[in-house]
Amino acid sequence: MGVRVDLRSDTVTQPTSAMRAAMMSAPLGDDVFGDDPSVNALQERIAVLTGKEAALFMASGTQSNLCGMMAHCERGDEYIVGQNAHTYRYEGGGAAVLGSIQPQPLVQNADGQMSLGDIAAAIKPDDPHFARTRLLCLENTWNGHPMPQSYLQQATDLARQHGLAAHLDGARVFNAAVARGGDALKNLRNIVDLFDSVSICFSKGLGAPVGSALCGSRALIERARRWRKMVGGGLRQSGLLAAAAHHALDHHVDRLADDHALAQRLAQGLAGIEGLKVRSAQTNIVFVDVADGRGPDLLAHLERHGVRATGLIGLRFVTHLDVDEAGIDHAIACTQAFFAQGASGSASQAAGTAVY
């Protein structure tokens, strides 16, 4: 096949040759014993970058969110979360199933925001009839859109007024920081300073093959370390993976702006096609609504022509470091060809069944 471009997610990236070299030269130990120097250095570095006392390297964002929530809450406690938030909808119900933490999901607006009034109303009184409300979970970016700083400030202020902790699912928080313009690391601190804990993925736009970090107080991280062991997250010579994350922090933060520019190029190229409604692209994710139920057919057409996307909540295209302008232009041209010729046949199923 000719051109191939994988726009399903920024999780599909391959380690660069420089990243592979860094991994192979990393000094190693045994992280379960706490003596892998590469892991320890990464944890110290990301703790400093986020302004937290400590950090814990984990296999995935799902695991770091789970361990974070279980470190904040006890059995019978409750966390407030958006109805479509990743921690509630797309992580297998782990907090409820494994942590016995009740979710209190709330309706979100198109920008992913729960109303402050709804949050306040959902906080339970101290009464044995109710689960104990202990935690507010937010997400940034939301469907590729950076959460406004003013909303994050107001929501976390509200949480603290009621004695709640606040956790940020920051899988793509570096994208949010870069999208604000200026000093990305300063922007990162402005965001995460509002939260008691944050989960950050290295394996999405930053391009590492595996890994996330949970950052928070020393006491919270020690509780999370115990939970990480219980859920099978203790890793051994994981400095190989930590080295990839180190390399990503050194070389792949500012270049996230390139992914954002490619997403804008894609959105602009698709915007003029009759039958498509393109939602604005603010970082590296473009959502497209397809008229007349033709989304599955379009996905199948794109797949036949070497373009991969997902189709669970509208069509989703995600740019990343393994995508270039030629790939974006190919995706646009294939989409234009589909609508020019009309849909023929029907796809047996949409490509992709989950959001990552």
What confidence score (pLDDT) does residue 345 get? 44
Q: What is the largest CA-CA distance in the chain?
A: 64
Name the least confident of 29-43, 181-195, 199-213, 274-288. Answer: 274-288
What confidence score (pLDDT) does residue 280 get? 77
Question: Hey, what domains does the chain have and what are their CATH numbers?
Answer: 16-251 (3.40.640.10), 255-341 (3.90.1150.10)
Higher pLDDT: 280 or 20? It is 20
CA angle 88, 316, 249 (to 5 degrees): 75
Burial of 191 from C-beta contacts in 10 A (0-12 / 13-18 / 19+): buried
Strand 212-216 versus strand 54-58 pairing type: antiparallel
Tell whether the model's pLDDT for residue 163 goes beyond 50: yes
Query: What's the rounded Cα separation, in Å, for the pair 330 and 352?
Result: 20
* Mean pLDDT value across residues 126-153: 96
* Mean pLDDT value across residues 191-208: 98
Provide the percentage of residues in the chain whose pLDDT is more than 70: 95
Q: Work out the number of other CB atoms within 10 angstroms of the CB of residue 39.
A: 28
Rounded to 5 degrees, φ, ψ at 201 are -90, 135
Rounded (to 5) percent helix, strand, coil in the chain = 45, 15, 40
Are the CB atoms for 132 and 79 separated by under 8 Å? no
What confidence score (pLDDT) does residue 353 get? 41
What are the residues whose beta carbons fall under 8 Å from the beta carbon of 126, sequence distance 6 or more?
A: 132
Strand ranges, E, within the chain: 5-6, 54-58, 77-82, 102-106, 132-139, 165-170, 197-201, 212-216, 276-278, 285-290, 307-308, 315-318
Query: What's the rounded Cα separation, in Å, for the pair 198 and 114?
Result: 19
CA angle 201, 227, 133 (to 5 degrees): 85
Confidence of residue 173 (pLDDT cuts 50, 70, 90): very high
Tell whether the model's pLDDT for residue 347 goes beyond 60: no
State pLDDT tens for residues 116-131: 999 999 999 999 999 9
Query: What's the rounded Cα separation, in Å, for the pair 167 and 134?
Result: 11
State pLDDT tens for residues 267-318: 999 998 998 999 878 999 999 999 888 999 999 999 999 999 998 767 999 9
State pLDDT tens for residues 51-86: 999 999 999 999 999 999 999 999 999 999 999 999
Q: Scanning the structure block, which residue is given the tokens 């192979």? A: 24
Average pLDDT, the chain: 94
Tell whether the model's pLDDT for residue 143 goes beyond 90: yes
What are the residues whose beta carbons fall under 8 Å from the beta carbon of 228, sequence distance 6 or more?
A: 56, 58, 63, 67, 234
What confidence score (pLDDT) does residue 351 get? 40
What confidence score (pLDDT) does residue 272 get? 86
* Mean pLDDT value across residues 233-261: 97
11 upstream amide cis, omega within 30 of 0? no
Dihedral angle sign, alpha carbons of residues 7, 8, 10, 11 = negative
